[in-house]
Amino acid sequence: MGIYKVRVATGNFLLAGTFSSISITLVGTHEESDKKHLDNCGKDFHPRAVSTSRTGRRWLGDIVLVRLHKEPYSFYPTDNWYCSFVEVVSPHGQCYRFPCYQWIEGYRTLELREGKGRGLRAGRRHMGDDLVSLGVIDSYPRQWQARANIPPGLSLPRWKEYAAGLPRCLAVENVIELDCNTMYSFTKSTNFLLRGGNYVLAHWREDTFFGYQFLNGVHPMVIRRCTELPCNFPVTPAMVASSLGESTSLQDELEVSGVPGTPLGGLRHQYIAAPLCLLHLQPSGELIPVAIQLSQCPSPDSPIFLPSDSEWDWILAKTWVRYAEFLVHEAVSHLLLTHLIDEAFALATLHQLPMCHPLFKLLLPHTHCTLHINVMARTLLLRRGGIIERAMGSGLEGTKVLMAKGMSCLTYTSLCFPDDIQERGVDCIPNYYYRDDGLKIWSAIESFVSGIVRHHYHSDAHVLADCELQAWADEIFREGFLGNEASGFPSSLQNIPELIKYLTMWIYCYSARHATLNNGQVGRGQPGRSGPHSQPPKGPGVQPPTPPPSKKLFVHRFQSQLGHFAQICPKSSLKTKKHTQS
């Protein structure tokens, strides 16, 4: 016999409270309590409020689960309530805490497990077989609760195939179908209304700036050391002698092929180049381009462009490289390898990890808004007539093909930052600030993750025995990486070091790596600044119908090559000085 004290906390921000009727049921290892209405004098569940009540007249055993019931009250309309946590104190003074930290929409019942960070198998041993007999084990994971008008069988987020060869995604067509826990906040939504001014691109023609962008621009993870020239890139020593000087260290970058083009704005069909660009590390530490070929097949119609060519021949060749690099950056590195892969992790987390699982707590902040931004991207960008089809040379279908190619050659090594640096052979190149800063960030994340993991998993056997964790890893492998064993991504996690590395990879990719690829594109909210893709010559999304078959290009022809860009993006401009023919 005894009384249980119950405390229920409401979130501390605007509109977190509710006028609904809130009740609670306590589930113990012996039995469960009657449903208790939580009601005191005045409004109980307003922002920052902690409502205190008493319930129970009999001993329930250890409290393993609470059920919150949100029901209509009087004439008040339906609203949403943000519950932070529930705390229960037993008659013997033992405190049980049940984290919630989520919106409860409409009228429904939400079940919460105690937040001690136990995996399912460890929880069974601790709580006893009575938990199974009460049906508690079979009720989880249940983070994504059904709305009042959705059948229980559809309560979990569902997978769908967006395009062949790509990670599967959330089966939602519009952001209004998302619940409050995955939707942008009002403050976050208003950020998209802020835009910065134009920046005068004073250095876009310079070779040193061109090379610098591959090291520390918005796409610094594709450059790799070249120990021998590709057989389809017949650069001779005489061609680059004036650029190389005495140094012989070479860099090879960027290769795209087999991507269909698309007509843009009623213009001619777009051509997607597959350029080869050779860069040279000078004794000064600067990286400069020394040879560019705009196709994979050398021929008289595909000359090798050199710094010694006319100024506008060389500028156009670099612009074509930037064009191809732009497509790979946006379609593969940014959209596929951060957004779409992150969505697979987020959905698997919601499917397989209960809220009280230690990894759910660790990973939840890194899934915040993932579903909202990706659904919005498929609604605005990746659809017929969307922005990608209208403003990118690859178009919608070409972008899908490009992403599928990127997916087919994706490896676990390429997403593990220290391994990727070693594999690309850029561990010693100077002035590579992306590498230097990235290794420090990776190390900091790894240290934090290691502390969390080793606190909850005391041996490799504990990792193997956590069936929720193993189901999570398996679902990511099947739905996110399409079961591709050649990729090297694990379908199960065998020990503590593997788990630490896997978690560090995810957190790094969708924080530091995404920030690198995304935040520098356009200087949003920074007056007087703009990013590398905001001006056509520096980062063009479209190009002329075909690459130039010969040299001897002058400034007026260069402008005409890019002139049709204004028909699609009329606010873009090309600022040049007056040049004479040479």
Question: Which residues are annotated binding-site positions for Ca(2+)?
Answer: 17, 39-40, 79
Three-state SS string over 283-350 comes to CCCCEEEEEEECCCCCECCECEECCCCCHHHHHHHHHHHHHHHHHHHHHHHHHHHHHHHHHHHHHHHH
CA separation for the pair 367, 354 (Å, rounded): 15
Q: Tokens in use for 106?
A: 């409409």
Are residues 319 and 576 in contact, defined by beta-carbon separation less than 8 angstroms?
Answer: no
Which tokens belong to 492?
A: 């199960």
**CB atoms inside a 10 Å sphere around CB 152:** 9
Retrieve residue 385's tokens.
């007539």
Q: Is the dihedral of CA 547, 240, 226, 425 positive or negative?
A: negative
Q: For 221, which DSSP code?
A: T
3-class DSSP state for residue 153? helix
CA distances from 214 to 159, 192, 506 (A): 36, 28, 23
**From the annotation, which residues make up the binding site for Fe cation?**
334, 339, 514
* Helix or strand holding residue 123 (H, E): helix 120-127
232 within 8 A of 276, measured Cβ to Cβ: yes
User: Which residues define the annotated binding site?
Assistant: 17, 39-40, 79, 334, 339, 514
